């Protein structure tokens, strides 16, 4: 059920859960409490949920860290805070639940780091994709050097941070920061369409795609190919693979577990 008092509202419709960052007065800026709620959901997704949507209330996805709540920390405390962000972003990416993000307005700093931890990104016109940390005298700490850097490449990300460059929706889609560019007010509807589509896949196939593809990109070619073979062997000998083949031959939709 949706609780408007929470920083993260959750609405479940069949196999799809819609998570909405609910700090519209702050452009959904991230604080430790909101990060903890995101962690809590992906740490134990509700039974029966097969895909999730991440969205933001009030016309923005997430404007990054809430600098008004900034507290002075020692170096080791900053290190621990950053590592906790890494842990939660890994939870979003690798929980096994496919995640579609519906992007509007600000997709800035930590908001871009969060978006890039999702698997499918849908953006409306007017989005602002930015990593402004250099203008604040700080450095990214939520995983951007890995996730954003791998999408853009190190050279382009370095320029983006040095200059504070803002990418608009069409540019972001061309660069891979968004996978779909839709019309005004259409991001959430498209995200729901995609999430429902993904939820129809076999859970094991989705799990393999989420867990294996990003990790294979870190491996040598021989290691990656071996892991690919392991995933193929496990998935293709499953009950769902048998159902998928029978459904194809019988010209009907598959009924996966």
**Other C-beta atoms within 10 Å of 255: how many?**
11
Residue 1 has pLDDT above 70, yes or no: no
Residue 219 has pLDDT above 70, yes or no: yes
Domain of 18: which CATH number?
3.90.226.10
- Is residue 215 domain-shared with residue 192, that is, in the same domain? no
Per the domain annotation, does 149 fall within a domain? Answer: yes
- Is residue 106 domain-shared with residue 227, that is, in the same domain? no
Which 3 state secondary structure label does DSSP give 101?
A: strand
- Is residue 105 domain-shared with residue 63, that is, in the same domain? yes
The whole-model pTM stands at: 0.93
- Is residue 228 domain-shared with residue 143, that is, in the same domain? no
Q: From 199, 220, 241, give the residue that closes a domain.
A: 199
Rounded to the nearest integer, the mean pLDDT of the chain is 94
Number of domains forming the structure of the chain:
2
Cα separation, 228 vs 191, in Å, equals 28
**Catalytic residue (choose from 11, 113, 170, 171):** 113
- Is residue 235 domain-shared with residue 143, that is, in the same domain? no
- Is residue 51 domain-shared with residue 69, that is, in the same domain? yes
69 flagged as catalytic: no
Q: At what angle do helices 75-94 and 203-216 cross, to 10 degrees?
A: 140
pLDDT of residue 248: 87
Q: Name the least confident of 55-59, 120-124, 163-167, 250-254.
A: 250-254
pLDDT of residue 245: 82
| Predicted confidence band of residue 5 (pLDDT cuts 50, 70, 90) | low
pLDDT of residue 3: 54
Cα separation, 130 vs 110, in Å, equals 10
Per the domain annotation, does 3 fall within a domain? Answer: no
Residues 133 and 163: beta-carbon distance below 8 Å: no
Per the domain annotation, does 35 fall within a domain? Answer: yes
- Is residue 192 domain-shared with residue 213, that is, in the same domain? no
**Catalytic residue (choose from 11, 36, 74, 133):** 133
- Is residue 16 domain-shared with residue 77, that is, in the same domain? yes
The 10s digit of each residue's pLDDT in 115-134 is 999 999 999 999 999 999 99
Per the domain annotation, does 147 fall within a domain? Answer: yes
pLDDT of residue 202: 94
Domain of 225: which CATH number?
1.10.12.10
Per the domain annotation, does 1 fall within a domain? Answer: no
Per the domain annotation, does 78 fall within a domain? Answer: yes
- Is residue 185 domain-shared with residue 81, that is, in the same domain? yes
The 10s digit of each residue's pLDDT in 73-107 is 899 999 999 999 999 999 999 999 999 999 999 99
pLDDT of residue 2: 44
CA dihedral 182, 183, 185, 190 (to 10 degrees): -30
| Average pLDDT of the residues in 198-204 | 95
Per the domain annotation, does 239 fall within a domain? Answer: yes
Per the domain annotation, does 14 fall within a domain? Answer: yes
- Is residue 180 domain-shared with residue 214, that is, in the same domain? no
Higher pLDDT among residues 224 and 4, named by residue:
224
- Is residue 235 domain-shared with residue 169, that is, in the same domain? no
| Predicted confidence band of residue 206 (pLDDT cuts 50, 70, 90) | very high
The 10s digit of each residue's pLDDT in 165-184 is 999 999 999 999 999 999 99
- Is residue 129 domain-shared with residue 149, that is, in the same domain? yes
Residues 77 and 83: beta-carbon distance below 8 Å: no
11 flagged as catalytic: no
pLDDT of residue 175: 98
Give the domain range for residue 24.
Answer: 8-199
């Amino acid at each position: 059920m949706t609780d408007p008092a929470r920083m993260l509202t959750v609405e479940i419709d069949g196999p799809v859960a819609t998570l909405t960052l609910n700090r519209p007065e702050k452009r959904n800026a991230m604080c430790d409490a909101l990060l903890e709620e995101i962690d809590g959901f992906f740490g134990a997704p509700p039974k029966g949920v097969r895909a999730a949507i991440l969205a933001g209330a009030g016309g923005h996805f997430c404007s990054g860290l809430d600098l008004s709540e900034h507290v002075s920390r020692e170096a080791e405390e900053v290190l621990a805070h950053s590592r906790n962000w890494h842990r939660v972003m890994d939870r979003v990416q690798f929980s096994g639940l496919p995640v579609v993000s519906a992007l509007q307005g600000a997709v800035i700093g930590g908001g871009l780091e969060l978006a890039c931890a999702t698997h499918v990104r849908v953006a409306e016109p007017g989005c602002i994709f930015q990593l402004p940390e250099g203008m604040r005298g700080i450095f990214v700490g939520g995983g951007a050097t890995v996730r954003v850097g791998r999408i853009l490449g190190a050279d382009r990300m370095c320029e983006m941070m040095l200059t504070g460059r803002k990418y608009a929706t069409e540019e972001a889609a061309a660069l891979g920061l968004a996978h779909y560019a839709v019309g005004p007010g259409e991001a959430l509807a498209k995200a729901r369409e995609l999430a429902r589509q993904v939820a129809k896949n076999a859970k094991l196939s989705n799990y393999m795609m989420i867990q294996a593809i990003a990790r294979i990109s870190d491996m040598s070619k021989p290691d990656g190919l071996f892991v690919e073979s392991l995933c193929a062997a496990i998935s293709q000998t499953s009950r769902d693979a048998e159902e998928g083949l029978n459904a194809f031959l019988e010209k009907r939709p598959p009924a996966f577990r």
